[in-house]
Amino acid sequence: MPKNTKATRKVKKARQEIELHYLKRNNYRSFHVDGVFGGITPRGNIYMELFLERGPTPKKTIHQVNDDGLLGKEVSREGKTGLIREIEAGLILDLATAEIVNDWLAKKIKTLKTAISAGENK
């Protein structure tokens, strides 16, 4: 249940239950997240960029060709070295929303740790 904000208090006074519908936008995607980077915006919000960490994709590789005509061992490659942090999404949260997300995430972490220590992984 979300934190007791002004909006949720008004809903509680008006009714005992409310039906929420979740709709996925046409550009909805799932992201693998390896890390986060960000900070506080000049307007006092939290800005976070979620990234995927991976090795660089080469611009070009050169391979031997086996006697049977199949692709053989890689001889050389051209491209970047190091790691790539591919930024998947940037999120801006006000303090109240950040606290709701923090609480939700803390509960999910606790549930996962409990499942792992019990030998489950759900």
pLDDT in tens, 63-79: 999 999 999 999 999 99
pLDDT digits (tens, 9 = 90+) for 9-28: 565 566 689 999 999 999 99
pLDDT digits (tens, 9 = 90+) for 24-47: 999 999 999 999 999 999 999 999
Average pLDDT over residues 43-55: 97
Q: Do 18 and 2 touch, CB atoms closer than 8 A? A: no
Residue type, 17: E
Note the pTM of the prediction, 2 decimals: 0.67
Residue 3 is predicted with a pLDDT of 60
Residue 10's φ and ψ, nearest 5 degrees, are -60, -40
pLDDT digits (tens, 9 = 90+) for 78-108: 999 999 999 999 999 999 999 999 999 999 9
1 pLDDT above the threshold of 90: no
Residue 11 is predicted with a pLDDT of 58
Tokens of 10: 């008004």
Residue 5 is predicted with a pLDDT of 62
DSSP conformation class of 102: H
